[in-house]
Structure 1
Amino acid sequence: MSADAELRRDRPHRVAVLVRPGVMPLELGLVHQLFGSARRQSGPGAGSLLYDVVTCATEPGPVPTNADFPIHVSHGPEVIDAAGTVVVPAAEQPGQPETGGPLGPALAAALARVRPGARIASICTGAFVLAAAGLLDGRRATTHWQSADAFRRRFPHLELDPHVLFTDGGDVLTSAGEAAGIDLCLHLIRRDHGAAVAADVARRTVVPPHREGGQAQYVAQPVPEAAGASTAAAREWALEHLDRPVSLRELADRSSMSVRTFTRRFRAEAGCSPGRWLTRQRVERARVLLEETDRPVDVIAGDVGFGTGASLRAHFRDVVGVSPGVYRATFRGGMPHD
């Protein structure tokens, strides 16, 4: 049974977190916190948990972390057999794949238990494990920007994109630094159960439901503008006016900057161009309206500033991967209708 097929069943979707010596407590905790707080929003079973999250290791027992305390893991790799999703966090300890160590027979055997149709995801330098196991061959991957050069040296045949927060190859996913694991988990929840469920989890956790841009905005570099200069107010204003055309000149004026300075500053803060950011925000608003209202696609297009249904359909498919009709049918039921 595929992971997607299991998601359509009544029982919670099993998420197995495979930890190794040197695991980072934050990465382990965020998987449990995010998936563990996802609940059915409506209908039969409203309020019930959507995921069953379990921690496992190659052998049950104490596992050292990169902090001053160990964790006790009750489960061995056998729980992976029934998992629809397997998450591999990073590990900071000599001898692990991140530090040039081999995959090792025990870890290889554990990964071999991932059943056909299940998906596997890495957090931070956990991507080294997936790469060493051959799971990233022919796929695009990411990892923490500080480890990008080491990753390229060890796996020169793989396509690495150190600029994004996560990659989604369908059944194999990778994410950047620790906090990008939050983005990845929310992305999976959104993919599985829609924007409303993911937004509810984000609210419970007090994190943004979606971060635009990539890792570039977190790399230390000199900022030429005066201290305090920011495009945040312009972005907030744009979100309140998505139903109408928003020009670059308007945004720059609201930040008291020239267009050139605003564009440069915007890229530094958001990790993408103002135009791309606006498109993504409009698509995200359309997601919510498709889930929560019965408005026709052409009407929603006007509500979110795309103007025409054709424009919304094109941008929505480009960002989400499916048409608005298929998306609405998936998360509201019924037949796709565009």
Structure 2
Amino acid sequence: MEGIPDIAPFRNRKEELDAKMAEPDFFSDQRRAAELSREHTRLSGIVALYDAADKLEADLAGNRVIIDDPETDPELKELAAEEIAGLEEQVAQKRDELLLAMLPPDPSDSRNTIVEIRAGAGGDEASLFAGDLTRMYHRFADQRGWTVEPMGASESDAGGFKEISFLITGDDVYKVLKYESGVHRVQRVPVTEASGRIHTSTATVAVLPEAEEVDIEIKTEDLEITTTRASGAGGQHVNTTDSAVQMTHKPTGLTVYCADERSQHKNRAKALTVLRSRLLEQKQREEQEKYAANRRSQIGTGDRSERIRTYNFPQNRLTDHRIGLSLSLPQVMEGDLDDLVEALRRADLQARLDAMNK
């Protein structure tokens, strides 16, 4: 089909995976089997879309032949003409679906994800908002059947968080949450505001695909590790042992602090996981900036310095500024993010499609 990438490589890869999945030991490596199964499902969808679009184009061409043939019965010509408009619309829609499906997936889409939330401007109200966002993402994860594991937190005196990080594991976590990176703004009357005046505060969200050792090599000599006594909740044992770990990556200056576990060894492991993921995200961001000078104008994975969303409590309205979408705020704060993330995903795919067609 004209304007559509060659389908042959997609068919060939699908047939290759058909053979692999038929092998007796295919499921011996569960993780690899899951990755190949997801790829097979995607390729099967692409092939099916191509065949459907190809058939519609053939039907359209057949109707045009009927109309152009001077010997065709007039009634048959009339029927063919009536079908053409509908077929043209179906062909256009199916071709767009096919092009979107053919776009290469983000290799990080299937990864587990570390979410880091930091209070921004607004003092105690910003830390309370960081706590609200944390609750929102936890509820969303529960609805999706994902698992949330705390990685580190610094609580504020007001009851929220100065900063908090947690690991979310499950199917396609990064694919769903990657558009959450950026500055989130809240407008509401703080609980500490006696006059009823609306305040504006912010919190920053960073979404990091979990990195593996094969992705990022961290040399021991590049790490500066200090241990201290953990403070806060956890009981007397936490407060009387040097279990908290601060890890600094000397080449980049990135610092991670973990004190959630009573075991120094476990906190070291968590800190290394967070550090590795931050380094992977930094590496990916640098690569993206090399090839996308207009990155700020795209949905992408967001820029942490750019305001992406406003949570307006007096009006019960959430607005995502990147796509101009407004939704009911209460249900979003309860973790109902499906409509939002789907709209962002579709907008991103359309932006990539438009760029490909230029």
The normalised TM-score by structure 2 is 0.25
The higher radius of gyration belongs to 2
- Higher relative contact order, structure no. (Cα contacts within 8 Å, ≥ 6 residues apart): 2
Given the two structures, how large is their TM-score scaled by the length of structure 1?
0.26
